[in-house]
Structure 1
Amino acid sequence: VKLAATSIKDMVILNIGGEKYTTTVDTLTREKDTFFTALFSKESQLERDPNDGSIFIDRNGKIFIYILEYFRTNTVPNNIMQDETLLNSLFIEAEYFRLYDLMDRLGVIYFPNGSLLQPTHQRKLNEIYGKIYQRWELIYKASR
């Protein structure tokens, strides 16, 4: 996806489920082939709020702060690892926004010592079976 050359460094206001975040297009498009690269591509026609110019995205605004922090720092905050509900919510949002690198990191947190079905294998299964966001789960693991 080719990004509009004039908008790469521009500041943008996102209204995610009622929570407003200010960042740059450059920050949001650090990963390739995501929701945001499509959103800010030339093909996409952005609808902005006439009052503040924000772009509304109907997703979980409380969780988006972690996604934005991931874009800014390329890290996952430590508190995510201790909170399974938060971890699951962040994984769901990462799937929606097509943030595969973040999903890989969160998958490692889910199964830190797992030897079966690493995130890269899950993506390969999705490719083989024509799925986009199928979450594969291990239902039985025999001892070695």
Structure 2
Amino acid sequence: MSISGNYGNYGGPPDVPKIMEEANAMCGIDLVYLNVGGKKYTTNFETLARSKSSYFSELMRIDRNSGRVLLFLKNCAIDREGALFINRDGDLFAHALQFMRDGRRAVLPEDKYTLKQLIRESEFFGMDSWKEVLIEQLEQVDKKKNELMETLTAIDGHVNRLTDTMYFDGFKK
């Protein structure tokens, strides 16, 4: 399997909740291989587990007692190569993963269509903080577009006045 770490049943000490017995315990720095819509990604379990994504919290979480990442394989789809399969657009997932890593410092696209697609992805993955950032970015893109349109309209008005002045002054001579 391509998911690194311990794959046996994690028995743990007797006081460990039963949920751990149904999960594989991984180190946060262990690598996880993802197949998102056919596109391959590699990251650490901790990146996904700490992402505040309701989607990934169904697949894994960090155990408060041991600090290890618990991977719930019964909730995971695994591809032929052993990677976690996620049935989403692989190109768009790059933005989601970047946000999980960098938070608000992640570089966002300025294309409205892509931003709208990413908002949908944020809803699918249950990443409310990412959705807020994307909506802010979409508003900024709209604001820039409106400012540009106002500037172009003003320039067009100046050009028309200059053209009219040149046209009328030309006939007066």
Q: Report the TM-score, using the length of structure 2 for normalisation.
A: 0.55
- For 1:32 and 1:8, the matched residues in 2 are separated by 18
Aligned match of 1:34 in 54, 70, 84? 54
Unaligned runs of 5+ in 2: 1-18, 62-69, 141-173
The corresponding residue for 2:26 is: 7
Equivalent runs, 1:123-134 vs 2, <5 Å = none
Structure 1 position 49 matched with structure 2 position 79: yes
Unaligned runs of 5+ in 1: 113-144
Distance 1:8 1:89, change over 3 A: farther
Q: Percent identity?
A: 31
The alpha-carbon deviation at position 109 of structure 1 amounts to 1.9
3-state DSSP class of the match of 2:26? coil
- For 2:98 and 2:114, the matched residues in 1 are separated by 15
Aligned match of 2:90 in 47, 61, 64? 61
The alpha-carbon deviation at position 89 of structure 1 amounts to 1.0
Q: Deviations over 1:52-106 (max 9, x none)?
A: 210111101010001111111113314x1x2011111111111100000000111
RMSD: 2.3
Distance 1:8 1:102, change over 3 A: farther
Aligned match of 1:71 in 93, 100, 109? 100
The corresponding residue for 1:89 is: 117
Distance 1:77 1:24, change over 3 A: same
- For 2:87 and 2:73, the matched residues in 1 are separated by 17
Please identify which structure carries the higher helix content. Answer: 2
The corresponding residue for 2:169 is: none
3-state DSSP class of the match of 1:21? strand
Asked if 1 retains the 8 angstrom alpha-carbon contact of 2:33 and 2:40, the reply is yes
Q: Which moved more, 1:84-93 or 1:2-11?
A: 2-11
